[in-house]
Amino acid sequence: MRLLVTGESGSGKTSWCREYVHRHRKSGSAVGGILSPAIEKQGQRVGSNALDLLTGQEVPFARLSQHASFKEGEQVGDYTISRDGILFACVAIKRAIKSRCDLVVIDEVGPLELQGKGLISAVESALASAITVLIIVRSSLRGALQKRFSDYEFTVIADLTEPSFNTSRHLH
């Protein structure tokens, strides 16, 4: 299965997925891949880290360009994405596939991946596998994701852009 969680920036996609992962683990499922929790300074989002769901290791992933201290990175809007963070995330996703986890989480597929960069090799490996994959994508990029990966059918399990969305009712 290929599952999607959609919503705009700041809508709670990663928090929703963290709870989804927790519930799956409580029921005995092996969960791997990455979450990208936000990093805030003085109440303002300045970036995100990449959290390996199998090992618990967390590394810097993206920072507002004025806060970025990466030696090498990809510019995406106001953010710089760390090359080391991309490599770390790709390894984490591929490790989860190789470990045959019940669920592989990819937080998130964004403009970089839709241009064939960033985590694209890991995303392609996950989608081609027989493992259930949960992809987080901004609502505004959902159509582009479905067009790029038109060979696959996606099921939206949470659309956090819906004003009446009730998280507890939609967690499986």
**What SS3 state is found at 166?**
coil
**What SS3 state is found at 40?**
strand
User: 70 lies in a domain?
Assistant: yes
Task: Determine the pLDDT at residue 71.
Answer: 73
Tell me the β-bridge partners of 151.
none
User: 168 lies in a domain?
Assistant: no
User: 141 lies in a domain?
Assistant: yes
Task: Determine the pLDDT at residue 163.
Answer: 59
Q: What is the DSSP letter of 92?
A: H
User: 172 lies in a domain?
Assistant: no
Task: Determine the pLDDT at residue 167.
Answer: 46
pLDDT digit string, tens, across residues 61-87: 999 887 767 778 888 888 899 999 999
Q: What is the DSSP letter of 160?
A: T
User: 66 lies in a domain?
Assistant: yes
pLDDT digit string, tens, across residues 9-46: 889 999 999 999 999 999 999 999 999 999 988 888 89
pLDDT reading at 142 higher than 80:
yes
Range of the domain at 34: 2-162
What's the average model confidence in pLDDT over 142-159? Answer: 95
| CA distances, 103 to each of 18, 38, 62, 129, 144 (Å) | 13, 22, 24, 11, 23
Phi and psi angles of residue 149, each rounded to the nearest 5 degrees, phi first: -110, 50
% of the chain at pLDDT higher than 90: 77
Cis peptide leading into 108, omega within 30 of 0? Answer: yes
Domain count, the chain: 1
What's the average model confidence in pLDDT over 84-104? Answer: 97
User: 139 lies in a domain?
Assistant: yes
CB within 8 A of 159, min separation 6: which ones? 5, 6, 7, 139, 165
Task: Determine the pLDDT at residue 172.
Answer: 39
Place of tokens 């959609």: 6
**CATH number of the structural domain spanning residue 31:** 3.40.50.300
**Mean pLDDT, the chain, whole residue set:** 91
User: 135 lies in a domain?
Assistant: yes
User: Which of 91, 102, 88, 17 has the alpha carbon at shortest distance from 59?
Assistant: 88
Please give the Cα distance from 136 to 142 (Å, whole number): 9
User: 136 lies in a domain?
Assistant: yes
Task: Determine the pLDDT at residue 170.
Answer: 42
pLDDT digit string, tens, across residues 44-54: 889 999 999 99
Side-chain-side CA neighbours of 87 within 13 Å: the count stands at 5
